[in-house]
Amino acid sequence: HTIIIWDELTQQGRLTEETLPQADIYGIGGLSTSRKRAYQLSRMIRSLGKKVVAGGIDVTGNYLEGNGAELLENFDSIVVGRLTSKLWQQVLADLSNGITQKVYQAGPDEPWEFVLPPHYLINPKFYVFTAIRTSAGCSQNCPFCTVHLVTGGRRIVHCKSQTLLKEELKLLPKTWFPDLLYDDSFGADQNDALEVSLPLLQARGRPWVTEITLKALCGKDGLSGLLDQMVASGCVGVYVGIENLDRPVSAKSLSREATEKAIERIHAAGLLILGSFILDVNGTETPESIRETIKWAIA
Ligand code: SF4
C-alpha cells in the first residue's frame, strides 16, 4: 500500500475537496479538541463515496463513554484501543472485500507490539521536533488520565526493545531542535531507562526533551531519581505534571517541599522545565487555593 500523511495542524493546512489526496481508504486520528473537525472532514470524504476509518485516543475514550452511535454516524468504521498490525491487516482486507465491520478492537491476548514507524513519511519542514518514543504506558494511576485506554490497563508499561530503538534512532532525522521523546511517561520503567534508553540517547549525542513525572525525575524526596543520568545523556528539557501542590492526585504527587527541591535541582542542572497544573482536580479547591497555586507557579 502507498500511504500519504496529511496533518491539518501543520502548514499543510485544512483539507478541501481540491487538496484531498486520492486514496482507497481514509484514516482519521486526532485529539478531542479536533473532534468536530474530524466529523466535518469525514462527511466531506464520505460525500465523495470513500470510506473513512477513525481511531486513536479520542475515538477510544468517546466510544468507551458510550458514544458509539455518534461515532458510527460520522465514520464508516472505528478502531477502539490500540491498533495492531494484525488488526490493521483485517481492516484493509475487509475494505478490499467490501465487508466493513463497524467496530474493530485488538484481541485481549494479542501482545503489545512496537513497529518501526515510517519516519520518511513525515516532512520535517512542517515540525519543530522530530519525535520518537522509548515506551508506552505509565506506572502511575492518575484518575483523570486516559493513557491506559490504549496501552491495555493502568500501571502497565511497554518498553521498546534495544534493537528496535537503536534502529529507529538511526532513522530519526536530525534537525536544529532537540529530539522529542513522546513517551507517555519517560522513565516509568526506571531500569529500562537506565539500561536501554539513556545509553542509546547518550550515544546519539543529540539534545532531547521529554515528559516525565517529578517522582521519576527527582525521586519522592526531590533529591534522587533519573535527573543526573538524563542530563548526562543529553536531556535539555522536561514537561512535568505538577497538577496540584497540596492535593495529591496519585502516588506520583510530591509534597510541596519536595516539589520545590526538585525544581531547584532541575534548574541548577540547566534544564528547561514546563510544568502543568490541573486546577480543582479533586473538587475541593477554593478560589483562594487556586489563586495560591497560580501565585506559586508565577513566582
Ligand atoms: S503520570 Fe501522567 S501518564 Fe502517568 S497516569 Fe498520571 S497523568 Fe497519566
What CATH number does the domain containing 259 carry? 3.20.20.70
Residue 139 is assigned to a structural domain of this protein:
yes
Task: Specify whether 262 is located in the same domain as 196.
Answer: yes
Pure H helices in 196-286: 198-204, 214-218, 227-232, 256-268
Residue 112 is assigned to a structural domain of this protein:
no
Dig out the grid coordinates for 155 from the structure. 500501571
Cα 278 to its chain centre, rounded Å, is 18
**Per-residue pLDDT tens digits of the chain, which is 299 residues long:** 899 999 999 989 999 999 999 999 999 999 999 999 999 999 999 999 999 999 999 999 999 999 999 999 999 999 999 999 999 999 999 988 988 799 999 998 899 999 999 999 998 889 999 999 999 999 999 999 999 999 989 999 999 999 999 999 999 988 889 999 999 999 999 999 999 999 999 999 999 999 999 999 999 999 999 999 999 999 999 999 999 988 899 999 999 999 999 999 999 999 999 999 998 888 889 999 999 999 999 98
Residue 131 is assigned to a structural domain of this protein:
yes
DSSP summary character for residue 11: T
Answer yes or no: is the C-beta of 184 below 6 A from any ligand 1 atom. yes
**Spacing, Cα 5 to ligand 1 middle (Å):** 28
**What is the structure's pLDDT at 144?**
92
Closest C-alpha to 219, from 260, 258, 266, 274: 258
- d(CA 152, CA 170) in angstroms, rounded, equals 29
- d(CA 178, CA 208) in angstroms, rounded, equals 5
Task: Specify whether 176 is located in the same domain as 247.
Answer: yes
Task: Specify whether 165 is located in the same domain as 199.
Answer: yes
Q: Which helix (H) or strand (E) holds 92?
A: helix 85-96
Task: Specify whether 94 is located in the same domain as 123.
Answer: no
**Domain housing 93:** 25-105
| Contact between residue 165 and residue 195 where contact means Cβ atoms under 8 Å apart | no
**What is the structure's pLDDT at 96?**
85
Task: Specify whether 286 is located in the same domain as 224.
Answer: yes
- d(CA 189, CA 187) in angstroms, rounded, equals 5
- Take atom 1 of ligand 1 and give the residue whose Cα is closest: 140
| Burial bucket for residue 187 (CB in 10 Å: 0-12, 13-18, 19+) | buried
- Complex-level ipTM: 0.99
- d(CA 154, CA 136) in angstroms, rounded, equals 11
Pocket test for ligand 1, best of 141, 252, 278 (most atoms within 8 A of CB): 252
Residue 240 is assigned to a structural domain of this protein:
yes
Residue 97 is assigned to a structural domain of this protein:
yes
**Nearest-atom index, ligand 1, CA of 213:** 1
Residue 289 is assigned to a structural domain of this protein:
yes
Task: Specify whether 283 is located in the same domain as 156.
Answer: yes
DSSP summary character for residue 83: P
